[in-house]
Amino acid sequence: MPFPQLPPALGETLATRGYLEPTPVQAAVLEPGAAGRDLLVSAQTGSGKTVAFGMAMAPELLGTDGLAQPVSQPVALVIAPTRELALQVSRELMWLYGTARVRVATCVGGMDPSKERRALRDGPHIVVGTPGRLRDHHERGALDLAGLRTIVLDEADEMLDMGFREDLEELLDATPEGRRTMLFSATIPSQIAALARRYQRDALRISTVGDDRGHGDITYQAVTVSPAEIEHAVVNLLRFHEAETAMLFCATRENVRRLHALLQERGFGVVALSGEHSQSERNQALQALRDRRARVCVATDVAARGIDLPTLSLVIHVEIPRDAETLQHRSGRTGRAGKKGTAVLIVPYQRRKRVESMLRGARVEAQWIDPPSAEAIRHNDRQRLLDALLQPVDFDEEDRALAARLLAERSPEDIAAALVRAHRAALPQAEELVANTPAAREAQRQERHRPGFEDIVWFRMDVGRRQNADARWILPLLCRRGHITRNEIGAIRIGPAETHFQIPRAIADKFAAAVLRTVGTEEGGDIMIEVATETPRETARQHRKAGGPQERHRGGPGGPGGPGGGRKVWPKKPHRKGPKPN
């Protein structure tokens, strides 16, 4: 359906931009029943919600002539969780109201606060910003909220998750009683519902999440891999798709840092975005993506909020999203404005059921596939090379003169082969992955043993997490008691009340004898160490049968059992004080 009746300035702007009909969320906020009311809206990333609340606040901003009149205080306030999202919102509102004489001021971290204060003094109609910076301007008297007629909280759930509740409450408490409040949130958890009850009056509930899920412009794929080959699968996916811009999502800063370093070493043009990067570093990374100096971005969920890259066509969930909403937020970075996109989930074999459940919750149909093979990548490379070389090209005289010299020295076949070789040399090498068969996976599991640990004996200690057991003091204790080195100790598995560890069978008797001799003579000599009668897995199984809490361990890149992991210690815990080593 076409847009409903809008002020002429907005209608012309939308038509110029190619907006012919509203998205579901835009149509919902423009319904006659929504006019002037507080709104509580569920809408996913990429649903057109910025334009939606921009159009919804038009009655508060524009006069009867469809133009804005000069003001001394802001009329509308938009709060967003991140700098990038706030800047994106500001840009969209500027073009939406560009011909209606509406002035927009932006207040975000990383910008010069003195310039922002000058912009606030110049009488903006709309102020867009992040919670912390807006609160700072308000407390310093630069941001006057007394004349506010409407306020928008964009991605309210993320702002609460990021710890901005106090900032939001201070800003909301400072606004006039009669103002209109619009909350836009991907989900409505209990804390958002409580915020709505406190600050909204008879809010109209709008939900377009069901309509947005399973976005037709995004193709979903789920790739099953061995946990040890997650990073190899990432390399092959990037090489197979050769997307103009790709975004890779990890769960933690540490995993972003490690994957960024690995891809950089492999020859990819890659940047990283996480909470540990300064605003200057974030700006440089985003500019590198826009300038095509980089084609891959590795990011955490929060760091990627508000990033809009028109050329982004591939999203890879390197680590499984925590829920269906996170899946939608991540994937929604692609498939925007009518463009096609691909979202790929990398799924360790043992976590397939969990991912299938999450996909059902997201109402997403994903194609389950194996990771691209090296041969499939080489096939694509050959086709891409042929397409590139056979494109019509204008050659100048210097090009033709150099070509003539080459032809005088080499045959056309040799010259073409040299060109192909130079092209291939610039591409990162594909990985040979283990076939997705039970036999191949078992063979790989056997090969993953550390050299010298193919045949081991399990020992146990009578201390566990309840006694603050930690590998950092267990290792030196075992070396002292057993007269061995760190390299002669295999996997360490810390349970609630006991700890299991591996010793190579060739030195197990020597280790056991040394442990007996050091009872009471070494620090930690009162800790019992003996050969285990059960493996840790069997012990855990008996524990579960007895009704005890199940133990969990962390997987994924960098975690125990994951690629890049070292000695296995799980469940992984923050360091706490234990028996002091020498």
CATH number at residue 70: 3.40.50.300
Q: Write down the pLDDT at residue 318.
A: 94
DSSP character for 457? Answer: E
For residue 134 the two structure tokens come to 């807006």
- Cβ proximity of 418 and 424 under 8 Å: no
Residue 242: inside a domain:
yes
In a domain? residue 508: yes
User: Which carries the bigger pLDDT value, residue 77 or residue 406?
Assistant: 77
| 214 pLDDT more than 90 | no
Convert 269-293 into a string of H (helix), E (strand) and C (coil).
CEEEECCCCCHHHHHHHHHHHHCCC
For residues 415 and 104, give the distance between their C-alpha atoms in angstroms, rounded to a whole number. Answer: 58
Same structural domain for residues 77 and 205? yes
> Which helix or strand (DSSP H or E) is residue 150 part of?
strand 150-154
pLDDT for 562 equals 36
The CA distance from 409 to 316, in Å, is 46
Q: Are residues 225 and 182 in the same domain?
A: no
H-state helical runs in 151-246: 156-161, 165-173, 190-199, 209-212, 230-241
Q: pLDDT digits over 289-342, tens only?
A: 888 899 999 998 877 766 778 788 999 999 998 888 788 878 887 876 567 889
Q: Is 245 helix (H, G, I), strand (E, B) or coil?
A: strand
> Which range is least confidently modeled, 91-105, 210-224, 230-244, 390-404?
210-224
Asked whether residue 390 is assigned to any structural domain, the reply reads no
Which of helix, strand or coil describes residue 263? helix
Contact in structure between 495 and 540 (CB atoms under 8 Å)? yes
Contacts of residue 522, defined as CB under 8 A and 6 or more positions apart, other chains included, come to: 480, 481
Question: Which pair of tokens denotes residue 137?
Answer: 């301007």
Distance CA 488, CA 153 (A): 57
Higher pLDDT, 567 or 81: 81
Backbone φ, ψ for residue 88 (5° rounding): -65, -45
Nearest alpha-carbon partner for 39 in 183, 169, 245, 214: 183
One domain, residues 207 and 223 = no
pLDDT at 306 (0 to 100): 64
Q: Evaluate whether 98 touches 149 at the Cβ level (below 8 Å).
A: no
Domain count, the chain: 3
Average pLDDT over residues 482-506: 88
Average pLDDT of 485-498?
Answer: 86
- Of 178, 212, 246, the position where a domain reaches its end is 212
Do 179 and 73 lie in one domain? The reply is: yes
Domain containing residue 364: 218-376
What is the biggest distance separating any 2 CA atoms in the chain, rounded to whole angstroms?
95
Which residue(s) pair with 368 in the sheet?
222
Q: What's the rounded Cα separation, in Å, for the pair 257 and 254?
A: 5
Domain containing residue 496: CATH number: 3.30.70.330
The verdict on whether omega for the bond into residue 571 sits within 30 degrees of 0, i.e. cis, is yes
Strand partners, 151: 77, 181
Residues 206 and 254 both lie in one domain = no
Which has more confidence, 4 or 11? 11
One domain for residues 36 and 146:
yes
> Are 18 and 137 in the same domain?
yes
Pick the residue with more confidence: 464 or 523? 464
Same domain membership, residue 197 and residue 149? yes
Sign of the C-alpha dihedral computed for residues 58, 61, 64 and 66 taken in this order: negative
What's the CA gap between 549 and 552, in Å, rounded?
A: 9
CA angle 448, 454, 459 (to 5 degrees): 110
Q: Answer with the one of 170, 189, 212 that is the final residue of a domain.
A: 212
In this structure, the chain runs to a length of 582
pLDDT, tens digit (0-9, with 9 covering 90-100), for 531-542: 988 877 766 666
Domain membership of residue 190 (yes or no) is yes
**Structural domain includes residue 411:** no
Residues 191 and 48 in one domain: yes
- CB-based contact 62:68 (threshold 8 Å): yes
Cβ atoms of 359 and 220 closer than 8 Å: yes
The three-state secondary structure class of 252 is coil
pTM, two decimals, is: 0.57
Residue keyed to tokens 């909470």: 275
Confidence band of 391 (pLDDT split at 50, 70, 90)? confident
Classify residue 409: in a domain, yes or no: no
Please check the confidence at residue 520 and state whether its pLDDT lies above 50: yes
Q: Is residue 59 part of a domain?
A: yes
Q: How many CA atoms lie within 13 A of 274 on its CB side?
A: 19
pLDDT digits (tens, 9 = 90+) for 431-489: 877 766 666 656 655 555 566 777 889 999 999 888 888 887 888 899 989 999 888 89
Whole-number pLDDT of residue 555: 36
Q: Are residues 68 and 199 both part of a single domain? A: yes
Residue 487 one-letter amino acid: N
Residues 95 and 112 in one domain: yes
Is there a domain that residue 436 lies in?
no
Average pLDDT of 110-121?
90
Which of 464, 486, 463 is closest to 476 using CA atoms?
486
Phi, psi torsion values for 286, nearest 5 degrees:
-65, -35
Q: Which of 337, 358, 376 is the last residue of a domain?
A: 376
Tell me: do 62 and 196 sit in the same domain: yes
